[in-house]
Amino acid sequence: MDSPLLTPREKAAVLWAEHVTRNTARERDDVYEAAREHFSEAELVELTLMAGFFNMFNRFMDSLRIPLESEGEVNKIKRSVRLDPGTVKRYLEDAVAAWPQEFPRPDALAP
C-alpha cells in the first residue's frame, strides 16, 4: 500500500480485495467507502466477484493438493524478476481483440 508504483485506484482495489479475502469487507465501512471513491457500483461488484472467485479457486486447489502450475512453470516464475511489459501488452491486446462486442443474455441461453 506504500508503493509509489500503485495509483490510488489500484491501492483501493488491493485494499478491497484484501478485505474480501479476509472476509472482513462487510465490517469495514471505511474500506467500502475508500473503494467506492474509485469504483462505480458495477465495478465494485465485478472486483468483489473476481476476488471471491480466485479465493474459492485457490482454496479448492489447495485443499485437494492440486498444483496450479507444473513444478517447471513454478520454478520459472520463481526465477523471474519482473514481467516483460511488451509481452504483457501483447497478451492484453490479443485478449481485447478477441473480446466479443456483445455477450448473450442469460435467458437467451436457456433451452
> Amino acid identity, residue 82?
R
pLDDT tens-digit map of 85-109: 888 888 889 888 888 888 777 666 5
Domain 1-66, CATH among 3.55.50.30, 1.20.1290.10, 1.20.1260.10, 2.60.40.420: 1.20.1290.10
Q: Are 19 and 47 in contact (CB under 8 A)?
A: no
pTM: 0.59
Q: Are 16 and 47 in contact (CB under 8 A)?
A: yes
**What is the number of residues in the chain?**
111
> Quick one: DSSP state of residue 38?
T
> With bands split at pLDDT 50, 70 and 90, how would you rate the model's confidence at 110?
low
Q: Whole-angstrom Cα distance, residue 61 to residue 52? A: 14
How do the domains of the chain map onto residue ranges? 1-66, 69-99
* Of 77, 15, 75, 72, residue with least CA distance to 48: 15
Question: What's the mean pLDDT in 31-55?
Answer: 95
Average pLDDT taken over every residue of the chain: 86
CA 43 to chain centre: 12
